[in-house]
Amino acid sequence: MVSELFNGVKTYVPKTRKELMEYVFQHKSILIAVNGEKIYHATDITRSIINRNVGYPDGMGAVWALQKRGHSDVDRIPGCELWLDIIAEYENKKTFYLVGGKDEVIEKTISKLKSDYPNISILGYRNGYLNEDEERLAVIDDISQKKPDVVFVAMGSPKQELLMEEMYQKHPAVYQGLGGSFDVYTGNVQRAPKWWIDNKLEGVYRTMMEPRKRIMRDIRLIPYFIKLIFNKL
């Protein structure tokens, strides 16, 4: 699978979600969502984390950058959908482990997964509040012993990526960082309506709904889009 570099950030160009899934299972990779913010505001640490793993176009900023490089057929792959695509595709073939969210969120997530995917094999799960080293080491040890095929970690970046790399050292598998996807899946957080998603305007909708939280973030990305227009990335 080909990739492109933007501001030193390696972003893969999957033709389809299925191709991306097959690639990461073949290579036992860590999936990391890439968007315009992660590209433009990359630090040495975040850039190296993404480049060691498989960064995929989760945000439209990344998609537009890839399209400017000639990948006209590339499409956005939202992480909050991709993890469910993985489960749907491999429900009968792979085993899973989940880390993240509050107790009530992870419990609700597990219950809903078992209802939506009756054949799913979940080897373990726990909340995302690993406040002590011993808690972090305990979940890493549990994963290394149970050896799941797929591990989903929903804790926010870069915390979840650093943890996944630590887990990977003990047990190579497919890992995906999910941010707040458990909250979306269980209905605690609502995504944009379908029309906004279908028309590639989910980010605009989210800014409209949370202007105080997102407006400054969007303003800081204006130079990114200017560079994108003039092929300066």
pLDDT, tens digit, for every residue of 127-178? 999 988 999 999 999 999 999 999 999 998 899 999 999 999 999 999 999 9
pTM of the model: 0.93
Label residues 151-176 b or e (16+ Cβ within 10 Å = b).
bbbbbebbebbebbeebbeebebbbb
At 225, the pLDDT band (50, 70, 90 cuts) reads confident
Q: In sequence order, what are the residues at sequence separation of 6 or more whose Cβ sits closer than 8 angstroms to the Cβ of residue 52? A: 30, 165
Q: What is the DSSP letter of 56?
A: E
Helix intervals (H) in the chain: 17-27, 36-40, 44-52, 60-68, 79-90, 103-116, 133-146, 159-170, 181-185, 194-198, 202-209, 211-220, 222-229
At 210, the pLDDT band (50, 70, 90 cuts) reads confident
Q: What is the pLDDT of residue 202?
A: 87
227 pLDDT higher than 90: no
